[in-house]
A and B are shown apart, each in its own frame.
Chain A
């Protein structure tokens, strides 16, 4: 059974700092990995999707990497802003279209 773990559970940083969120998964037989953002009381917004054959994806200030063999992914956020405050969820896709989610990292960026 696929298990996804995210570290840290919570992170508080000052504005402008670069930061890294970590995600690990137990079964390396994945199709892809997605990073989502969830704002309080809202649904999930997809940020980046990395196919199993890819090493990284970039979108603006966000960069996600994938090391499938070691079961790890990182989400790098450059020059963090208060608007980046949210919970960030990592999810891996294994069989069919099933996504297995981590428990998330709650990020607070202080002005």
Chain B
């Protein structure tokens, strides 16, 4: 299995531009997670989906952030408009489960976003 795939790996954009991050979870997994990692705040959960349905989006910082999962094999995280404080590494992870159980989360390599 190729693991969780994220694209792009690096993104540099200017303030005010729209940014779209993409994730392909491991085939057969039914839960997908978006995290953000910064030096100041560490690793934070932004949103997670179970069976393509958003379950908990309480970590989404503000309305500029939105996430979709149109099918079991694809998800996007969009920032519009982007701001310099959004600069971080964004990780996607997937797991099989979603309820109580041994649902280990498998992480993608991350997208390093820099907003100038």
Q: Tell me which of A43, A51, A96, A104 has the highest count of chain B C-beta atoms within 10 A of its own C-beta.
A: A43
* Contact in complex: B106, A96 (CB < 8 Å): no
Q: Which residues in window 29-64 of B have CB below 8 A to A? A: 31, 33, 42-45, 48, 50, 55-56
Q: Which of B105, B108, B110 contacts A99 (CB 8 A)?
A: B105
Q: Given that A43-B110, A101-B43, A103-B42 are contacting pairs, would A96 and B102 also be in contact in the complex, using a CB cutoff of 8 Å?
A: no
* Contact in complex: A43, B48 (CB < 8 Å): no
CB neighbours of B104 from chain A (8 A) = 34, 46, 49
For the A-B complex, the count of residue pairs with Cβ-Cβ distances under 8 Å equals 56
Q: Which A residues are within 8 Å of any B CB, using their own CB?
A: 31-32, 34, 36, 42-46, 49, 51, 89, 91, 95-104
CB neighbours of B109 from chain A (8 A) = 42-43
Q: Which of B42, B102, B107 contacts A43 (CB 8 A)?
A: B107
Closest B residue to A46 by beta carbon equals B104
CB neighbours of B107 from chain A (8 A) = 36, 43-45
A sample of 4 more A-B contacts (CB under 8 A), given A43-B4, A97-B55, is: A32-B102, A46-B105, A101-B44, A103-B42
Binds A, one of B70-78, B79-87, B91-99: B91-99
Give the docked Cα–Cα distance between A98 and B31 (Å).
Answer: 11
Q: Which B residues are within 8 Å of any A CB, using their own CB?
A: 4, 31, 33, 42-45, 48, 50, 55-56, 91, 93, 95, 97-98, 100, 102-110
* Contact in complex: B108, A51 (CB < 8 Å): no
CB neighbours of B55 from chain A (8 A) = 96-97
Closest A residue to B32 by beta carbon equals A97
Q: Tell me which of B97, B102, B105 has the highest count of chain A C-beta atoms within 10 A of its own C-beta.
A: B105
* Contact in complex: B42, A101 (CB < 8 Å): yes
* Contact in complex: A44, B48 (CB < 8 Å): no
Q: How far is the CB of A59 from chain B (nearest CB, A)?
A: 12
CB neighbours of B106 from chain A (8 A) = 46
